């Protein structure tokens, strides 16, 4: 299965997925990246590491997450059968915790107890603060000042969990600037600090490592689908910001060529405006945050700000493996705009009694478009990667509801 023509072989020794990926970091960080690469290789080969990871995923995170047949949604759309991979039921409410468990175990193994992380919507920040509390490690979270404001509930959760939140005002004060600031922290505190990156991006080995830890999503889906339907699904759909939940679902299926795979980017207010985050559909290859990948940028190679109703998709880059999968044609990437995502958010809430996060609401909006065009014996699996508790304020604002007026 993973033969010469496999799409699952990447990255190579240099951290490349085809032309993408790599290790574009300052010399001060390079020895740390190499050390991390060695440590991760050793951990992967150590059965005790996997055992502890599996144990925590089962008993602490609550895996496996269910694969749920959405009967009413299926009826409503009148086409393909729709299943949700319910990673929103994980401890902390999103898929982010899968990766955090893996990386905190690696940090422990490497003897680097001070944890730093960047966060956009706050889901990765909460998951990081959670595992730091569980392991008793000090935790510093960099978060764009703008995001601190629009994600107040998650900021409070992180503080409750004992994390220090540093609002980032440098640059434009969003996710990419938080990542810059976390890198500046790491370059300063090289001895005791572990940088726990939340998405499948950054310098090698992060894209590979985060993907491996998130691949549990796709592995479980494969098994659960066999159990439920006795076959593979016809289509996978997931939202992509940096792309960790999507690569986690997609990767185990990449060599199953009959399974169509669709990644959904944040189209913001539309691709004909400046306010979107569709790096793959509307960007071009460049080098940022340690890897070559598709980026939103201007003619001079300056990085543009993304914009989306969902803070979690608000990143002008994308994991390098997605860039590779786009160029290879294996995965189709499409944009969904704010309005469509918001409509899907409401639809799922009413039809299935599940309030999704705004990130997977983008994936759902694509399901809404695709399912009616497919046969009733076809199957779509969508990654429901986060729950929407954190987004009720944002949704209320966009729906014109004043929560304080009751």
Partner 1 sequence: MTQRMDARFAALKAENRPAFVTFVMAGDPDLETAQQIVDGLPGAGADVIEIGMPFSDPMADGPAIQAAGQRALEAGQDMVKTLTLVKNFRKKDDATPIVLMGYYNPIYIYGVDKFIKDALDAGVDGFIIVDLPPEEDEEFCLPAIAKGLNFIRLAAPTTDDARLPTVLSNTSGFVYYVSMTGVTGSALSNPTDIADQVTRIKNHTDLPVCVGFGIKTADDAKRIGADADGVVVGSALVQAVEKSLENGKATANTARAVHELVADIAKGVRAARS
Give residues with Cβ within 8 angstroms of 339, minimum separation 6: none
Residue 344 within binding range of partner 1, rule CB under 8 A:
no
Candidates 2, 28, 226, 328: give the one binding partner 1 (CB under 8 A): 28
Residue 100 within binding range of partner 1, rule CB under 8 A:
no
Total residues binding partner 1 (CB under 8 A):
37
Residue 78 within binding range of partner 1, rule CB under 8 A:
no
| Residue 15 phi, psi (nearest 5) | 80, 20
* Dihedral (CA of 67, 72, 76, 78) sign: positive
Stretch of 154-162, 244-252, 286-294, 344-352 lying at the interface with partner 1 (CB under 8 A)? 286-294
Query: In angstroms, rounded to a whole number, what is the distance separating the alpha carbons of residues 61 and 324?
Result: 31
Least distance between partner 1 and beta carbon 48 (Å): 29
Residue 303 within binding range of partner 1, rule CB under 8 A:
yes
Query: In angstroms, rounded to a whole number, what is the distance separating the alpha carbons of residues 44 and 50?
Result: 7
Stretch of 26-34, 77-85, 108-116, 260-268 lying at the interface with partner 1 (CB under 8 A)? 26-34
Candidates 136, 230, 272, 302: give the one binding partner 1 (CB under 8 A): 302
Phi-psi region of 195 (alpha: psi -120 to 50; beta: other; left: phi over 0): beta
183 to 242, contacts with partner 1 by CB under 8 A?
A: 183-184, 187-190
Residue 174 within binding range of partner 1, rule CB under 8 A:
no
Least distance between partner 1 and beta carbon 29 (Å): 8
Residue 170 within binding range of partner 1, rule CB under 8 A:
yes
Give residues with Cβ within 8 angstroms of 129, minimum separation 6: 139, 141, 157, 158, 161, 162, 163
Candidates 110, 171, 228, 346: give the one binding partner 1 (CB under 8 A): 171
Least distance between partner 1 and beta carbon 247 (Å): 23
Strands 284-288 and 290-295: antiparallel
Residue 289 within binding range of partner 1, rule CB under 8 A:
yes
Least distance between partner 1 and beta carbon 13 (Å): 10
Residue with tokens 């240099």: 14
Residue 286 within binding range of partner 1, rule CB under 8 A:
yes
Candidates 233, 290, 386, 388: give the one binding partner 1 (CB under 8 A): 290
Closer of 25 and 336 to partner 1 (Cβ): 25
304 to 333, contacts with partner 1 by CB under 8 A?
A: none
Residue 146 within binding range of partner 1, rule CB under 8 A:
no
| Distance of alpha carbon 221 from the chain centroid | 17
Candidates 31, 78, 111, 372: give the one binding partner 1 (CB under 8 A): 31
Where do the H-state alpha helices sit in 264-319?
A: 279-282
The angle at the Cα of 385, spanning 248 to 333, to the nearest 5 degrees, equals 60
32 to 51, contacts with partner 1 by CB under 8 A?
A: 32
Cβ atoms 39, 109 nearer than 8 A = yes
- Cα within 13 Å of Cα(117), Cβ side: 33
CA-closest candidate to residue 209, choices 399, 30, 38, 74: 38
Query: In angstroms, rounded to a whole number, what is the distance separating the alpha carbons of residues 228 and 219?
Result: 14
Candidates 18, 114, 180, 281: give the one binding partner 1 (CB under 8 A): 180
Which residues of the chain form contacts with partner 1 (CB under 8 A)?
Answer: 14, 22-32, 170-171, 176-177, 180, 183-184, 187-190, 284, 286-290, 292, 295, 297, 299-303
């Amino acid at each position: 299965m993973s033969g010469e023509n496999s799409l699952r072989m990447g990255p190579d020794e240099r951290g490349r997925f085809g032309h993408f990926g790599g290790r574009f970091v300052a010399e001060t960080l390079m020895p740390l990246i190499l050390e991390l690469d060695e440590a991760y290789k050793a951990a992967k080969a150590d059965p005790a590491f996997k055992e502890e990871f599996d144990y925590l995923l089962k008993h602490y995170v609550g895996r496996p997450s269910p694969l749920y047949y959405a009967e009413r949604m299926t009826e409503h759309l009148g086409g393909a059968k729709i299943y949700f991979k319910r990673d929103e039921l994980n401890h902390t409410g999103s898929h982010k915790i899968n990766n955090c468990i893996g990386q905190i175990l690696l940090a422990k193994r490497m003897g680097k107890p001070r944890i730093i992380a960047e966060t956009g919507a706050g889901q990765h920040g909460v998951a990081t603060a959670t595992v730091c509390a569980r392991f008793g490690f000090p935790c510093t979270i960099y978060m764009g000042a703008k995001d601190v404001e629009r994600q107040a509930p998650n900021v409070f959760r992180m503080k409750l969990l004992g994390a220090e939140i540093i609002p980032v005002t440098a640059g434009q004060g969003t996710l990419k600037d938080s990542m810059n600031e976390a890198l500046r922290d790491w370059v300063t505190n090289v001895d005791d600090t572990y940088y726990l990156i939340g998405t499948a991006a950054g310098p090698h080995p992060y894209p590979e490592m985060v993907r491996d830890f998130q691949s549990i999503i796709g592995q479980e889906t494969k098994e659960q689908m066999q159990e439920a339907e006795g076959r593979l699904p016809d289509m996978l759909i997931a939202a992509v910001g940096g792309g960790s939940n999507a690569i986690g679902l997609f990767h185990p299926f990449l060599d199953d060529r009959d399974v169509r795979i669709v990644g959904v980017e944040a189209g913001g207010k539309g691709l004909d405006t400046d306010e979107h985050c569709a790096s793959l559909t509307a960007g071009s290859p460049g080098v940022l945050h340690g890897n070559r990948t598709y980026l939103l940028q201007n003619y001079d190679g300056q990085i543009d700000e993304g914009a989306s109703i969902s803070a979690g998709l608000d990143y002008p880059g994308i994991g390098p493996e997605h860039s590779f999968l786009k160029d290879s044609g294996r995965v189709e990437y499409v944009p969904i705009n704010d309005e469509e995502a918001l409509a899907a958010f409401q639809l799922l809430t009413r039809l299935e009694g599940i309030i999704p996060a705004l990130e997977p609401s983008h994936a759902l909006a694509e399901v809404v478009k695709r399912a009616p065009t497919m046969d009733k014996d076809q199957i779509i699996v969508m990654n429901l990667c986060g729950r929407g508790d954190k987004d009720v304020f944002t949704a209320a604002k966009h729906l014109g509801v004043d929560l304080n007026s009751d």
